Chains A and B, each alone.
Chain A
């Protein structure tokens, strides 16, 4: 039972993660409600259509700030190095769970790093288009529609990333989610998923 544990995410990292994560889920659900008449009932989550419409951009502002903090906290670890490129070459082995054929990853594997950059890019798109949609009286309806379509497209990409993220972080790789709850992972988990990181940690 008593396995040695490693601290993977500090309290600050965890808080920021959940602020961004939870606001994103609410934003995604209300956004889908605004886009699909059949999902309009989801606005009930925030007190009905008009209320959801008022709250959506406000929650979006929290999301935007959270994402910025997230970027600052994590960006140092997110640049791809040479082993990462090898890892990407072996990504199909990774997906097939043949981890003996996958080059060892550091604290974050190349997939996670790309995820980070994609999410940051989408974040910029969300906030830029969202801000304009928040104050629509300042420009014409042609631009408004373009912004709405961009915002929608970004949300779909974000939704896809969310599905991937939640799937990999929970059922696909047991032991991962704990890193975002009390911040700790087992050494066995670290050796399996992030050998170079666990190596550093153990030597220390």
Chain B
């Protein structure tokens, strides 16, 4: 079996900018494909995610929605969002499988200052290592999809890891395995792209003229892609129309980093220059 855990990028290391190439780079590159139109809202995937990853159960309550939890958390890595939208005079559920999209160019990893706290594998998975995490939450600002969640108790950040421990041994992620309608599929990314194309065509034939694939180029494409019937209403799915790998918050940080190194360097150098120019000023000794 090909090695599926060859590393591509490590946070706060040169490989964050220039991805690592290795002998094993040619291994499989995976993707999930989520076909929203097939979701029946059973939330089996949410349960499977909790079970496989041994995540704590949170008390939920009915807040007038089909949705189980209000938001993702450090213990809820997957949430089926049921946005209610009126199309014509019909109520529609704009369902979104809210979880990490495993970006090809991960903003979280670019933002992380702790070496090794975020690792991207050649197979496309972006994983957080809590033992290296310093809980600074730069990744939260760096993610264009608002995915990572801070854990108050452990003071670290957590998110979907694509069931990396299953993928490693050739299994599909738990949510994929569970889905009774095949709304979530798993495979080699190229195959999933081909499949998505067919699905989009079918939807279009059935009258969803704006049906589209969601695999945004601003983050280099993702390893969880969506096929959405209403590709012209991405906001209604809570999907950003133009996500970028280095969103505005990171821009501010990068500017300050640059300004900072010049400023402090300038400070030290000008002190040195001043000293060389005029030297010390000593009091004349009383005699």
Contacts and interface: CB of A to CB of B under 8 A. Distances in A.
Whether chains A and B associate is yes
Interface of A: 3-4, 33-37, 40, 43, 49-50, 52-54, 95-97, 99, 136-137, 141-142, 144-145, 148-149, 152-153, 156, 159-160, 163-164, 167, 171-175, 186-189, 191-193
B259 A163 contact: no
B283 A189 contact: yes
Contacts, number: 124
B256 A145 contact: no
A149 B13 CA distance: 22
Given A50-B135, A95-B274, A175-B283, A37 B249 contact: no
A54 B274 contact: no
A156 B259 contact: yes
Given A163-B271, A172-B275, A172-B280, A153 B136 contact: no
Given A156-B263, A159-B267, A163-B271, 18 more contacts: A33-B113, A35-B113, A35-B260, A50-B155, A136-B150, A137-B150, A145-B252, A145-B253, A149-B252, A149-B256, A159-B264, A160-B267, A163-B264, A164-B267, A172-B271, A172-B281, A186-B283, A191-B283
B278 interface: yes
A96 B275 CA distance: 10
Interface string B111-123: 0011101000000
B280 A171 contact: yes
Contact of A174 (B146, B263, B271, B282): B282
Contact of B275 (A37, A40, A145, A171): A171
Nearest to B154: A50
B128 to A, nearest CB: 13
A114 B237 CA distance: 54
A174 B271 CA distance: 15
Interface of B: 11-13, 16, 113-115, 117, 131-138, 140-141, 146, 150, 152, 155, 249, 252-253, 256-257, 259-261, 263-264, 267-268, 271, 274-275, 278-286
Most buried by B among A43, A95, A136: A136
22 contacts: A3-B285, A33-B113, A36-B257, A37-B11, A37-B13, A40-B113, A49-B114, A49-B134, A50-B131, A97-B278, A141-B137, A141-B146, A144-B140, A144-B141, A160-B264, A171-B275, A172-B271, A172-B280, A174-B280, A186-B286, A192-B283, A192-B284
Contacts of B138: 148
A51 B271 CA distance: 34
Shortest Cβ-Cβ A-B pairs, 6 listed: A37-B12, A188-B283, A53-B134, A167-B271, A163-B267, A145-B249
A32 to B, nearest CB: 8
A156 B268 CA distance: 13
Contacts of B256: 35, 149, 152-153, 156
Is chain A's binding surface mostly helix, strand, loop or mixed? helix
Contacts of A3: 285-286
B141 A145 contact: yes
Contacts of B249: 142, 145
A161 B260 CA distance: 13
Nearest to B146: A141
Given A137-B150, A172-B280, A36 B134 contact: no
Contact of B281 (A141, A160, A192): A192
Nearest to A135: B152
